[in-house]
Structure 1
Amino acid sequence: MKVFKKLWPYISRYHYLFYGGILFVILNVGVSMVPGYINRKIIDDVITNGQVELLTRLLIAYMGVTILRSLFIAIQRYCIEGLSQKTLRDLKQSVYDHLQKMSFDFFNKNKTGELMSRMTGDMEAIRVVIAEGIIQLVRCIFYILFVGFVLIRENIQLTLISLAVSPFIAFFAYRLSERIKPVFSKIREQFSDLNSTVQENISGIRIVKAFHQQGYEMEKFDEENNEYFIKNYKAAKVWAKYFPIIEFLGGVSTVFLLYFGGRLVIQGEITIGVWMQFNSYLWMLIMPMRMLGHIVNMISRAIASGERIFKILETETEIKNKENPVYANRAKGEVEFKNVSLKYDDQYILKDINLHAKPGNTVAIMGATGSGKTSLINLIARYYDATEGEIYIDGIDVKDFDLKSLRKQVSIVMQDVFLFSETLRKNIAYGSPEASLDEIEEAVEIAGAKGFIKEMDEGYKTVVGERGMGLSGGQKQRISLARAILEAAPILILDDATSAVDMETEYKIQKALEEMEDKTTLFIIAHRISSVRNADEIIILKNGEIAERGSHKELLKLKGEYYKIFKEQYKELIDDDGYFKGELEVS
């Protein structure tokens, strides 16, 4: 019931459909009992007693009831189907909206395929239980109430005899629900794993083919697919164990009715018409019992899926606004780290970081892979929160800012460039949808993307493939850079943003950034000395700590980590003392 309590706020938004659907299900149950009574009258009054004049009226009544019942079924279906679709739409929107609020860390811990399965297969299980389960459950309850009441009034002895096996049917239905629910939970989990396998394979198909791993991928899918089969087969075995018992007991009720009811007819205690009415009504009573297995199956699937869906909705994001947050129109761009540390699973990723970037300054960050470069810049816009210490923008702690307002102050070109399956114009203007074509072209010019866009037949209307397929690595980086520049935020972060472009193009981009009218505070993560040499401050990270800091010339004089990188990259051009050949001093 916990799942359905959580689901109720979504259903209750459309209470008129919910209660309307239930009303017409009940009316349908009531009307469906009338043909049994008409059959009794035809047998007892028309056929047995020869009251032929009643036949026409009874047949007209029969047709009227049939039409009325069809109308009630149509209205109940309209109400319940509308309820299920609208509830599902709202629930999907809630999950999707909640996912937008989650931190990077949440997506690090949850596979894309798993999240997709919760938005598809799990949602469908919820829809089915609303669309079918409500009808079946209400119908069962009111068949038992209405039919039970009528049958007891007709002949309590025959009713009790016919329903003698009902407690056993209820018992086995309960046992089925107990056994099938955990099995369905495992099926939903395995479906997520299967979904993840397919999603990862399709996303990485070029790598798969490049390394000739199709066979390995097919084996991996075969294992997951077979595991999915095994879990479904286990559910089928549970179903096969209990459902036939429920069906058999339902049949036993009919045998009791035929035997004992037939004896009462022979003894003259009831008429054949009453017996026939009793028989048709008993089937209405037995039908809900026989449907218990299907209902249990449906509800168990929905519970397993609902638990997974609400687990997402109940997962609190670690990154959220404080009460009464600070709203800022445009910051100056001053950024300061004070004794900042970041831990992940009790391991320090960054430790005791202190840096101060004045408005318009350029700070370059270098270091080996895994040294914490990307983690450091991700703290500025609160994609993660620092474990210790504070980060300030214009003297205000970033945790005090409204998140949306904070992130408007920061534009970022991420290391893993992502482009949508949209036109180039829409990709560039993704963060600034109201930007004019002139503003877009200006950003494209600075990013060095104007040349190759002009060469395309459809220019800015060119639709790129999924994740930017069809563009080279350098082209994707320049589109991503143009997207960040167009936002015109006071703080610009370039995370290895020009690694795929040639050095000449990189130089032109750097010159264009320096000559921008609205000078931004620039953070550059790079591996090339050419990318960072003009920075106001260069920071060398090592194992999450600042190993060296200073300008290009200052760091060369230290002859430490930066000097080693410099010497490695320029070994063809410098002598053993670190001087450029033919020059008198370190450049």
Structure 2
Amino acid sequence: MKALQYLNKYFYKYKWRFLIGILITVLSKIIALKVPKLVGDSLNIVEDYLKGITTNIDDVKHQLFINILLIIGVALFSGFLTFLMRQTIIVTSRLIEFDLKNEIYQQYQKLSLNFYKKNRTGDLMNRISEDVTKVRMYVGPTVMYTTNMVVLFVVCFAEMVKIDLKLTLYTLLPFPLLSVSVFFLSKIIHHRSTIVQQNLSKLTTFTQELFSGIDVVKSYGIEPSMTKDFDEISDDNKDKNIHLEKANALFYPSIILLIGISNLIVVYVGGLQYINGEIKSGTILQFLLYVNYLTWPVAIVGWVTSMIQQADASQARINEFLDQVPEITNANKSSTEIFGKVTFKDVTFTYDDTNITALKNINFTVNSGETIAILGKTGSGKSTIIELLARLYDTQDGVILLDDKPIKEANLNDVRNQIGFVPQDPFLFSDTIENNIKFGKEDATEQEIIEAAKNAVVHDNIIDFTNGYKTILGERGVTLSGGQKQRVSIARAIIKNPKILIFDDCLSAVDTETEEKILSNLEKVSKNKTTFIISHRVSSAKNADKIIVLDAGKIIQQGTHNQLITAAGYYKDLYDQQLLEKEN
């Protein structure tokens, strides 16, 4: 249970709730265990009357009536306390579940982009959902039932010893066997629980990827193949669950058998004592009730053990991610004013997952308010420059300066708050178009939203939709065309009004005429803002203050549009080629 020790801080945080819940549990069980004594006393009263020890029938009736009322009263009060117990402990477990999910979510947000490249979405989702659910069962129902079990054992055995030590000792004979069974089975359950959770993550990941790529699956007609793969993973998951349940299934029958043996011992030994005149019949009935009171808590030993082992396996998986140290950290907690000057000095960067060196000794400076265009073939390192600027990764060699100071010394939140980023593959949320644009500025007015959409040349498309700006988009913006998604993403960046604007090949899905309109609007919008334009088109770069051309991670050309079209090289060749295509 080492992994579950992580939860001790939550037990401490909610200690008063747990203490009150446990006290209520103890009280409810102590009161509930008054019933066997009342029942036993009632049978003894009847036995005394039948034997002639008590002769007044009215006294017998009166005493039995009082006992019946007490039994009903005890049952009602115990039930009310049980209700309070569940309200206290189960609600607290929900609060811990809420806190733990938030902690995991916060950790997910802190972890770098590199982490998400190495871990699958389905597995991440499974740990924050299924694994946390298993843990909640430990901090809630398991705590409650364990307390129930301990209190019932202590109080029952104390009462039984008080009544008859010899009969109690005989009743306890099967319990050592139960302890040994629980010990060995718990180890098996823990091992199998870990395997089950790992397989569930695999199934979740496969399903998530299938749904995300359903258009590819359908267009290639590979539904039968995917169904076959899903069946194999699903069957494997089923087999692992059955394997776990086989271990769990051994508990309950074993416990019922042991309780049954205890009942037989009570009847046999108690019967002999009754024949010898050592005890009354009410005592035997009282013992039988106590033993059967123990049926549920003893039976729950298996369930509790299983829940603890499953929770431990799940918490171990959660701890794997909570123990991850974010690669990108905020070294400066104080506020940093951003103006927008960017300098790359001798920057070299290699992706550790692929071992590809994306940038090699990159040097350039963009002053605040200037526009720089970065061109190059696919894989030349264009997007890597942007990822380093946004601190999605940190440099390994060289330094990036922001306003003449190392970017790592600036407040990370302030840096990212002053960057408006339009990625090459825009991501839109399954929400209204309006809210997707407002993602760049939560308190944006309707007029600001419309103005941003107009500058992105997407307003006319939006108002043609039945619900206009209130149109709900499908997952990842699937409702819109590629060009429309890019333009909504541009509107989202524009409305933020940041110091630094980044457009990462965001006009690749629009036609030349629309591109010209957007570029004209962006020229006005980006005035006094440092702007990075990543593109394959000369038309997107020609008005930039500076242009750099990358090839295999190196800068092979630098200058303005007029300088570069007069010099032999990649830029002039690209310009001539695209000019020819436009004329045709």
Following the alignment from structure 1 to structure 2, what is the Cα–Cα distance between the partners of residues 354 and 325?
29
What residue is the counterpart of 2:224 in the other structure? 215
Correspondence 1:369 to 2:378: yes
Match of 1:327 among 335, 353, 364: 335
What residue is the counterpart of 1:578 in the other structure? none
Following the alignment from structure 2 to structure 1, what is the Cα–Cα distance between the partners of residues 320 and 70?
53
What residue is the counterpart of 1:86 in the other structure? 95
Contact 1:84 1:127 in 2 (8 A): yes
Match of 1:110 among 119, 122, 130: 119
Following the alignment from structure 2 to structure 1, what is the Cα–Cα distance between the partners of residues 249 and 469?
60
RMSD value, Cα: 2.2
Counterpart mapping for 1:335-414 below 5 A: 335-345=342-352, 346-414=355-423
| Alpha-carbon spacing, 1:242–1:128, altered in 2? closer, same or farther (3 Å) | closer
Q: CA deviation at 1:379?
A: 0.8
- Residues 306-347 of structure 1, C-alpha deviation per residue, up to 9 Å, x if partnerless? 22223333322211111x445234x33210011112222254
- Residues 239-294 of structure 1, C-alpha deviation per residue, up to 9 Å, x if partnerless? 23455334433333233222222222222222211111112112334543332111
Counterpart mapping for 1:136-175 below 5 A: 136-175=145-184
What residue is the counterpart of 1:130 in the other structure? 139
Following the alignment from structure 1 to structure 2, what is the Cα–Cα distance between the partners of residues 572 and 195?
47
Correspondence 1:456 to 2:458: no
Corresponding residue SS for 2:39: helix
- Residues 512-564 of structure 1, C-alpha deviation per residue, up to 9 Å, x if partnerless? 22233733211111112222233333323233232333333444455333344
Corresponding residue SS for 2:502: strand
What residue is the counterpart of 1:99 in the other structure? 108
Q: CA deviation at 1:567?
A: 4.7
Q: CA deviation at 1:91?
A: 1.7
What's the TM-score, normalizing by structure 1?
Answer: 0.92
- Residues 27-81 of structure 1, C-alpha deviation per residue, up to 9 Å, x if partnerless? 1211121111011111112333355142111111111111111111111111122
Following the alignment from structure 1 to structure 2, what is the Cα–Cα distance between the partners of residues 344 and 289?
56
Q: CA deviation at 1:155?
A: 2.1
Following the alignment from structure 1 to structure 2, what is the Cα–Cα distance between the partners of residues 430 and 287?
53
Contact 2:4 2:311 in 1 (8 A): no
Q: CA deviation at 1:15?
A: 3.0
Contact 2:42 2:67 in 1 (8 A): yes
Contact 1:250 1:290 in 2 (8 A): no
What residue is the counterpart of 1:440 in the other structure? 449
What residue is the counterpart of 1:577 in the other structure? none
Following the alignment from structure 2 to structure 1, what is the Cα–Cα distance between the partners of residues 291 and 455?
81
Contact 1:412 1:492 in 2 (8 A): yes
Match of 1:237 among 239, 243, 246: 246
Contact 1:17 1:82 in 2 (8 A): no
Contact 2:248 2:303 in 1 (8 A): no
Contact 1:12 1:18 in 2 (8 A): no
Correspondence 1:15 to 2:15: yes
Unmatched runs of 5 consecutive residues or more in structure 2: 55-59
What residue is the counterpart of 1:4 in the other structure? 4
Correspondence 1:277 to 2:283: no
Contact 2:342 2:365 in 1 (8 A): yes
Greater displacement, 527-536 / 383-392: 527-536
What's the TM-score, normalizing by structure 2?
Answer: 0.93
Greater displacement, 546-555 / 212-221: 546-555
Contact 1:496 1:525 in 2 (8 A): yes
What residue is the counterpart of 1:61 in the other structure? 70
Following the alignment from structure 1 to structure 2, what is the Cα–Cα distance between the partners of residues 415 and 87?
40
Greater displacement, 366-375 / 209-218: 366-375
What residue is the counterpart of 1:470 in the other structure? 479
| Alpha-carbon spacing, 1:573–1:480, altered in 2? closer, same or farther (3 Å) | closer
* Matched residue type, 2:72: M
Match of 1:491 among 487, 497, 500: 500
- Residues 442-477 of structure 1, C-alpha deviation per residue, up to 9 Å, x if partnerless? 322221122222333433233322221221111111
Identity value in percent: 35
What residue is the counterpart of 2:208 in the other structure? 199
Correspondence 1:46 to 2:54: no
Contact 1:413 1:495 in 2 (8 A): yes
Unmatched runs of 5 consecutive residues or more in structure 1: 575-580, 582-587
| Alpha-carbon spacing, 1:290–1:435, altered in 2? closer, same or farther (3 Å) | closer
Greater displacement, 125-134 / 164-173: 125-134
Following the alignment from structure 1 to structure 2, what is the Cα–Cα distance between the partners of residues 573 and 422?
38
| Alpha-carbon spacing, 1:394–1:161, altered in 2? closer, same or farther (3 Å) | same
Q: CA deviation at 1:571?
A: 4.8
Corresponding residue SS for 1:193: helix
Contact 2:259 2:291 in 1 (8 A): no
What residue is the counterpart of 2:57 in the other structure? none
Greater displacement, 24-33 / 448-457: 448-457
Following the alignment from structure 2 to structure 1, what is the Cα–Cα distance between the partners of residues 582 and 33?
98
Following the alignment from structure 1 to structure 2, what is the Cα–Cα distance between the partners of residues 282 and 254?
7
* Matched residue type, 2:173: A
Greater displacement, 494-503 / 47-56: 47-56
Corresponding residue SS for 1:522: strand
Following the alignment from structure 2 to structure 1, what is the Cα–Cα distance between the partners of residues 299 and 479?
57
Correspondence 1:518 to 2:527: yes
What residue is the counterpart of 1:542 in the other structure? 551
Contact 2:134 2:310 in 1 (8 A): yes
Corresponding residue SS for 2:389: coil
Following the alignment from structure 1 to structure 2, what is the Cα–Cα distance between the partners of residues 164 and 454?
80
Counterpart mapping for 1:180-191 below 5 A: 180-191=189-200
Contact 2:342 2:403 in 1 (8 A): yes
| Alpha-carbon spacing, 1:258–1:368, altered in 2? closer, same or farther (3 Å) | farther
Contact 2:340 2:500 in 1 (8 A): yes
Q: CA deviation at 1:228?
A: 0.6
Contact 1:325 1:400 in 2 (8 A): no
- Residues 89-114 of structure 1, C-alpha deviation per residue, up to 9 Å, x if partnerless? 22222222222222212222222211
* Matched residue type, 1:15: K
Following the alignment from structure 2 to structure 1, what is the Cα–Cα distance between the partners of residues 227 and 388?
40
Contact 1:122 1:306 in 2 (8 A): yes
Contact 1:381 1:398 in 2 (8 A): no
